[in-house]
Structure formats: C-alpha cells, structure tokens
Structure 1
C-alpha cells in the first residue's frame, strides 16, 4: 500500500519476501517510531528508518519465525529500542520447532535480543498507548494490537480481509480461533478503524465484517 497518512501519524507498509511473504509496518509520529511484525532484514525498511533517524520499539503480534527473524538486526542498528511480544509466545523466540524455523523452511531463528512480554490489556509502548487482545489460534499468544487514539488495528496473522488464519502450526488451535472470532465480534471498534493485517490488503472494520468469511460464519 501507499503510505497511510492519518491525523498525527503515518503508517508505511513493507513487504518481507525472503523465504515467506508477509508484511511489516512502521508507525511514525511525533510520539515515536514503532516497527510492527518485522521480517528478515529488508533494505527498503532499514533505509526508511534511517530517514526517520531513530526507532523506539518493535512490537510483534505473534511469535512466528518470519517476524522474529527481524528483531536482532533491528536491535543491532538501534540498541536502545525495546522489543515486545505477547506473553503466551514467550518460548517461541528461542525454540526453532515452535517458531517454525526448522526444515523445510530452511531458516534457523533463535533470537538473542531481550524481549519484553505483554499480557492482554492496555500497555504503554514507547510513544503510544496500545491494547493487546489475545486471539489465539495461529499461535498460543497470537494477538491483535489496537492503537485506538489513531484508529488503527494491527491484526497480525489472525484476521485478513477475507479469512482468519490457518491453525495447523505448533501451538495453533482451530477451536481457540473460533472462540476468538466470537470475542472479536463483541469488541466495539469504530467502523472506520483501519485493519492492517500481515497478509493481504488493508481494510476497515466495517468492510472486514462484510468480507471475512470466518467472522461471517461465526456471526450467523
């Protein structure tokens, strides 16, 4: 997508294609710069961060290798940054089986950097107030991250424009995903909230309820 410019902030999206197709986001405002769900070192993303001059935090919605693989490189360039991950995924950064960086993927991801673990609920991430909501299914700690003040919702691997995620991966659970789809439908998001998934196009909460088959089936 082109840069998403909203009052008080800009969100840039970067495609991580090395070994796996996914997206990373950079949320930037006068309050600070946060990278959400980074992947392998990506020149476009790193060059963009250089133009900003600093980075305050790395925030992961879940602990799959494709996102964990970006942490150490970012921390090496920005040693004062803080990294955050949902608490139920605390074992994934250092367990190659759980984070799926064993064959056949062909990558080995064992994170060396310090990570702070977030429980469900509101948190202060440098520059921003965020709300983490567990949407277990793709992993035990898979979460969506709301920045309500800015009308943004980062849905990670949980909810894309058309479907919910697959659940066959380690610590994934189809039953949990169904329960959390029901939970998602009870959260009073504004219809215009921007939905920013790790896969597929950006959408809005209003559109997501119309186009996401998993949410439609749950709401029937």
Structure 2
C-alpha cells in the first residue's frame, strides 16, 4: 500500500510538470521555499526571500518575469522583493485583507524582531478573494487568515496546485503566537481548506511538498482543529 501511495504522488507531480513547470528554490537561514511558476518561458515568482539566488536562476533560464505573488507579509517571504522590483520592474501582488500590514505593522514588527532593516519600498497591487488572470496565468486567491491577517493561498485549478505560504505545511500549520495572528481565524481557515479536493498538490512556504488529501488524513491540525 505504501508503494502505491508513493507511485501516486510521483505520478501527479510528473503530470503537473507537463502543464506548468514549478521550480522550488530554498532560500535563507530558515529555509524558505520560493517558487517560480513557468509556462512557455514566462513566469511568476511566489514569495521572494533571496534576490541574488532568484535573479541568478531566472537569468540562467532566460525566463520573462510577469510578476510576484506574495502569500503574506512576513519578512522572510519578501526580503528580496525590493531589489528584485528595481531590476525587473514587475508588479507585486498580495491579498487585500489588512494591506497596511505590508509596510506599517506586520512587516516592520517582524523585521525588527530579527534585527533586520525594514525596507519594502515598492508598490503593491492588492487582490480580492476570487479568480484572477495575470499574463495568461489563471488562479484563485483564497483568503486564509490566521498566521497573519493577510495570509492567502494561490490556487491554480488547471493543475490542481496550491501555494500555501505559511498557512499549511506537511503535518503542520502556521503558528498563531505572533503579534498579528489570530487563533479563531486560523480555525475558520482550516475548516475552509478542508472543503477543497484531495488531489490538490500543496507547495508550502517551508518544508516538503505534499497532497491535500494526505494532510486531511495525517495532519493533526486538519483532523482535530487548531491546537498550539
């Protein structure tokens, strides 16, 4: 049975690559997953921790960058955005819930907490929950507040793929102990994500890739609800 599960996971990720290439680049001291979503030489960057590493990869591949998608406002997911935008002149997108967190509250708080200089001098386009299309990339933005008020998932239905940021991991979810997190909202978001199909591939902000159905069966936070 274990062997068949491994074959299933291998098959669905292989099928995904035939439709949309997803490149994972692990960055930073806390091993953030940055993703480059590519079709026909054009790409979107999902979270951007390390400018130099992402820039080098894109230059090597010759991709045309169409934009940056941010899953939430914590510093480790957007530390490289400022420099990247200055070089590539691309738009930056994130969820519209509590947008002031980007440069006034949440971002500044988390930067100061780790002794880093607060710098996020870019224009952000705030997207409402629902369907969006950017340069031929079609996705749904799903609001999942809890870890932060502005946490979102980018759900690409065509390939049954979700980029979950720090909301959902393998056998874990994002913490709700920081200044701008909320336990009750996290519980609501967990209930919300459980309504989506089991076959969805999960690309989290940290750690290994997984499948939503597997998390429904094995993730204690999805089984029992949020308990810190």
TM surpasses 0.5? yes
1:70-85 equivalences under 5 Å are 70-79=80-89, 81-85=90-94
Partner deviation per Cα, 1:144-194 (whole Å, 9 max, x = no partner): 11001122111110010111110112321011101111111123x2x3221
2:129 alignment partner in structure 1: 120
TM-score by length of 2: 0.85
Instruction: Determine if contact 1:93/1:109 at 8 Å carries over to the other structure.
Output: no
1: CA distance between counterparts of 2:139 and 2:155? 6
Alignment of 1:192 onto 2:202: no
Match of 1:34 among 8, 20, 44: 44
How big is the shift at 1:74? 1.4
CA RMSD of aligned residues (A): 2.0
1: CA distance between counterparts of 2:125 and 2:220? 34
Instruction: Determine if contact 2:141/2:153 at 8 Å carries over to the other structure.
Output: yes
2: CA distance between counterparts of 1:164 and 1:171? 16
3-state secondary structure, aligned to 1:166: coil
Report the number of matched residues. Answer: 211
Partner deviation per Cα, 1:89-135 (whole Å, 9 max, x = no partner): 4112212x412344340112331111100111111122211111111
Q: Which moved more, 1:203-212 or 1:156-165?
A: 203-212
2:6 alignment partner in structure 1: none
1: CA distance between counterparts of 2:202 and 2:128? 21
- Higher Cα Rg: structure 1 or 2? 2
2: CA distance between counterparts of 1:83 and 1:139? 18
2:4 alignment partner in structure 1: none
2:106 alignment partner in structure 1: 98
Instruction: Call closer, same or farther: CA 1:169–1:56 in 2, change over 3 Å.
Output: same
**Structure 2 runs not aligned, ≥5 long:** 1-12
1:132 alignment partner in structure 2: 141
1:11 alignment partner in structure 2: 22
Instruction: Determine if contact 1:156/1:198 at 8 Å carries over to the other structure.
Output: yes
Match of 1:146 among 139, 155, 158: 155
TM-score by length of 1: 0.88
How big is the shift at 1:31? 7.2
**Structure 1 runs not aligned, ≥5 long:** none
2: CA distance between counterparts of 1:31 and 1:120? 27
3-state secondary structure, aligned to 2:51: coil
2:222 alignment partner in structure 1: 215
2: CA distance between counterparts of 1:67 and 1:106? 16
How big is the shift at 1:72? 1.2
Higher helix share goes to which structure?
Answer: 2
2: CA distance between counterparts of 1:31 and 1:123? 20
3-state secondary structure, aligned to 2:173: coil
Instruction: Determine if contact 2:82/2:119 at 8 Å carries over to the other structure.
Output: no
1:161-176 equivalences under 5 Å are 161-176=170-185
Q: Which moved more, 1:99-108 or 1:177-186?
A: 99-108
